[in-house]
Amino acid sequence: MSLDTRPPRQHPVRQVATPRERQAERGMPSRSLLLALVLACIALMVVDRTSGDESPVAPVRRVVGEVLGPAQAGVSAVLGPVVALPGNLRTNDALREENADLQARVDALEQEARKAGYDDNRMQEWAGLGQMSTGTGYALAPARVISYGAAQSFSNTVTIDAGSDSGLRPDMTVLNGDGLVGRILEVTSHTATVLLVVDASSTVGGRVGDNMENGMVEGQGGFAADEPLELRLLDDTVLPEKGQTVVTWGSEGGAPYVSGVPIGEVDKVFEDLRLGTYRAVLEPFVDFTSLDLVGVVVPSGGDGVIEPGAFQ
Amino acid sequence: MSGTQRLVAALVTVVAALLLQVTVFPHLAWNGVVPDLVLLAVVGAALVTDPRFATLLGFGAGLLLDLAPPADHTAGRWALALMVVGYVVGRLAHDHSSAQAGSARPAYPLMLAAGAGGAFVGTSVFALSGLLLRDPAVDVGELLEVVLAAVAYDVLAALVVLPAAVWVFTREPGARPAQVTPRTPRRTPV
């Protein structure tokens, strides 16, 4: 027999928790839980990423959306006005400033809108001139009508803002996007005087486009005359018909008139009983009271000249 | 706070944060960046509950964020990001509070620091997973810009959101982690 001579235990057995127990006690997630969650995330990503449109996540998304969608709409409707409140609280100064800004913008836009029609028309004129150049095959020097001769002088002339500096000479053909305007009488260095075809002293060789019959187109004088142009065919037996187009016949060397420029169309036909000839009244294509942009037929290759095929 | 109560509180908080984040805060967005309220809710929970709960909550909240309507990115990215946030913040807060001998509510600066850190970790993990998956296919510079803006905005939101979240999770006296897991003397001298 031997006595237990060991000293009595003064302390209870030391209770050592395993690391896992300690972690669980402290509320730590176990390693396996963490691993499972991370793997779950990665698996979800891979599945969603690789399966494209037929992702199994899509129906889940749909269900969550069905539940949360109305909630979102409700919250948005309820809190929207509250969020928008700061936008409504603004000082008088800020409002005045904004008002001034907007007023300035309105003014600018109105001005632009007023000019829009004018700009459109100018654009159309340029396009017409380009088209005319292409159609007739002549190079055109653009110019603007800057003044009309007074009616008291009984001549129908206009001044254009291009002259000898732009290569213009007397007896050049002037036309615009619609047709023949006239010819140049005189030039200065920066201006030129144009005799309109409606002038009483103007005679243009004209040709009916349909049957190539030649004739003379004579001006009757006056912009506002009812019958500004008259056509007398050289062949008395040919009867001009209403709606036929008359173009220039063309002079030798292209002066004063080049050939093939439309003048107008036959509007009325009269028979001169005494002479036994026909007289046709032409309706000119050009509106002579609102001439603005015109082109002068010049040799090709000059500075600022509209060549055939431009604007296309 | 009992388990069920805590679960309900977590659910309500996360859903409310999600709704606010996607409906109201876009009106207050800065360059399209909105504060991550859900992330802040997870951070708040992580500060005052145990890390395991925070991790699970982060996973769940992230999953919700991945699936709720405006989301179109690869599912699981926010789940991973918020899970990491919940774990990291929960772990740090837990260690800190055990060293500090358990005050119920963390100090205000600590909350802000946790919010900033959590926001940085969360948005970074999300952005990195996007880079790996080539999900939105943006370059790193742009990504960094958005991440930093998001962190800044999150800190701003954290000023209000974190105390609220912490309050929600510590409403009842029983919710204190110090009482949920009483600190028993584990190491007794031999």
Complex confidence, ipTM: 0.72
CATH fold group of domain A121-298: Thrombin, subunit H (2.40.10)
Q: Contacts of residue A41 in chain B, CB cutoff 8 Å? A: 59, 62, 76-77, 79-80, 83
**What distance in Å separates the CA atoms of residue B152 and residue B112, rounded to the nearest whole number?**
11
The minimum CA-CA distance between B17 and chain A, rounded to whole Å, is 11
Give percent of chain A above pLDDT 90.
5
Label residue A19 left, alpha or beta by phi (over 0 means left) and psi (-120 to 50 means alpha): alpha
Q: Which among A79, A73, A81 has a CA at the least distance from the CA of B69?
A: A73
Q: Which among A145, A157, A172, A137 has a CA at the least distance from the CA of A255?
A: A172
Does the beta-carbon distance from B51 to A27 stay under 8 Å? yes
Q: Contacts of residue B34 in chain A, CB cutoff 8 Å? A: none
The minimum CA-CA distance between B121 and chain A, rounded to whole Å, is 15
**Residue B29 in contact with partner chain A when CB distance is under 8 A:** no
Rounded to whole angstroms, what are the CA distances from B189 to A12, B182, B186? 11, 20, 10
**What pLDDT does A104 receive?**
94
**What distance in Å separates the CA atoms of residue A115 and residue A107, rounded to the nearest whole number?**
12
Q: With the C-alpha atoms ordered A79, A82, A86, A91, is the resulting torsion angle positive or negative?
A: positive
pLDDT of B17 strictly over 70: yes
Does the beta-carbon distance from B188 to A14 stay under 8 Å? yes
Q: Helices B77-99 and B51-67 sit at what angle, rounded to 10 degrees?
A: 160
**What pLDDT does B182 receive?**
52
Express each pLDDT in B116-144 by its tens digit.
888 888 888 888 888 888 766 677 787 88
Q: How many CB atoms lie within 10 A of CB B16?
A: 17
**What distance in Å separates the CA atoms of residue A140 and residue A306, rounded to the nearest whole number?**
5
pLDDT of B183 strictly over 70: no
Give the architecture-level CATH label for domain B3-180.
Answer: Orthogonal Bundle (1.10)
* Domain boundary assignment for chain B: 3-180
**What distance in Å separates the CA atoms of residue B48 and residue B92, rounded to the nearest whole number?**
11
Q: Contacts of residue B69 in chain A, CB cutoff 8 Å? A: 61, 64-65, 68-69, 72
| Burial class for B134, CB neighbours closer than 10 Å (0-12, 13-18, 19+) | exposed
Mean pLDDT, range A95-111, rounded to an integer:
92
pLDDT of A103 strictly over 90: yes
Rounded to whole angstroms, what are the CA distances from A156 to A151, A159, A224, A291, A299? 7, 10, 11, 12, 26
**What distance in Å separates the CA atoms of residue A43 and residue A96, rounded to the nearest whole number?**
59
Residues of A with a Cβ under 8 Å from any B Cβ are 11, 14-15, 17, 22, 25-30, 33-34, 37-38, 40-45, 48-49, 55, 57, 60-61, 64-65, 68-69, 71-72, 75-76, 79-80, 83-84
Does the beta-carbon distance from A83 to B27 stay under 8 Å? yes
Does the beta-carbon distance from A48 to B181 stay under 8 Å? no
Mean pLDDT of the residues in chain A: 82
**What pLDDT does B101 receive?**
44
Can you tell me whether residue B187 is helix, strand or coil?
A: coil
* Domain boundary assignment for chain A: 33-84, 121-298
Can you tell me whether residue A214 is helix, strand or coil?
A: strand
Does the beta-carbon distance from B24 to A79 stay under 8 Å? yes
Q: Which among A232, A247, A216 has a CA at the least distance from the CA of A280?
A: A232
Mean pLDDT of the residues in chain B: 79
Express each pLDDT in A289-305 by its tens digit.
888 888 898 888 777 78
The minimum CA-CA distance between B69 and chain A, rounded to whole Å, is 5
pLDDT of B174 strictly over 50: no
Q: Which among B186, B77, B179, B63 has a CA at the least distance from the CA of B128?
A: B77
**What pLDDT does A107 receive?**
93
**What pLDDT does A102 receive?**
94
What's the half-sphere exposure (Cβ side, CA atoms, 13 Å) at A32?
2
Phi and psi at residue A292, to the nearest 5°: -135, -80
Does the beta-carbon distance from B98 to A26 stay under 8 Å? yes
What's the half-sphere exposure (Cβ side, CA atoms, 13 Å) at A262?
20
| Burial class for A131, CB neighbours closer than 10 Å (0-12, 13-18, 19+) | middle
**What distance in Å separates the CA atoms of residue B57 and residue B51, rounded to the nearest whole number?**
10
Express each pLDDT in B67-94 by its tens digit.
887 777 788 888 899 999 989 988 888 7
**What pLDDT does A275 receive?**
76
**What distance in Å separates the CA atoms of residue B126 and residue B105, rounded to the nearest whole number?**
29
Q: How confident is the model at residue B99 (pLDDT cuts 50, 70, 90)?
A: low
Q: Decide which of B97 and A252 is more confident.
A: A252
**What pLDDT does B20 receive?**
82
**Residue B68 in contact with partner chain A when CB distance is under 8 A:** yes
**What distance in Å separates the CA atoms of residue A153 and residue A102, rounded to the nearest whole number?**
52
Mean pLDDT, range B168-186, rounded to an integer:
57
**What distance in Å separates the CA atoms of residue A298 and residue A140, rounded to the nearest whole number?**
6
Does the beta-carbon distance from A48 to B76 stay under 8 Å? yes
Instruction: Give the pairing type, strands A293-298 and A139-148.
Output: antiparallel
Q: Report the residue from B62, B67, B87 with minimal CB separation from A29.
A: B87
Supply the DSSP string of A124-181, one letter for each residue.
HHHHHHHHHHHHH--EEEEEEEEEE--GGGT--EEEES--GGGT--SS-EEE-SSSEE
**Residue B137 in contact with partner chain A when CB distance is under 8 A:** no
Does the beta-carbon distance from B75 to A14 stay under 8 Å? no
**Residue B134 in contact with partner chain A when CB distance is under 8 A:** no
Q: Contacts of residue A40 in chain B, CB cutoff 8 Å? A: 59, 76, 79
Express each pLDDT in A261-299 by its tens digit.
889 988 888 887 787 778 888 888 888 888 888 889 888
Size of interface A-B (CB pairs under 8 A): 119
Does the beta-carbon distance from A28 to B15 stay under 8 Å? no
| Burial class for B100, CB neighbours closer than 10 Å (0-12, 13-18, 19+) | exposed
**What pLDDT does B100 receive?**
52
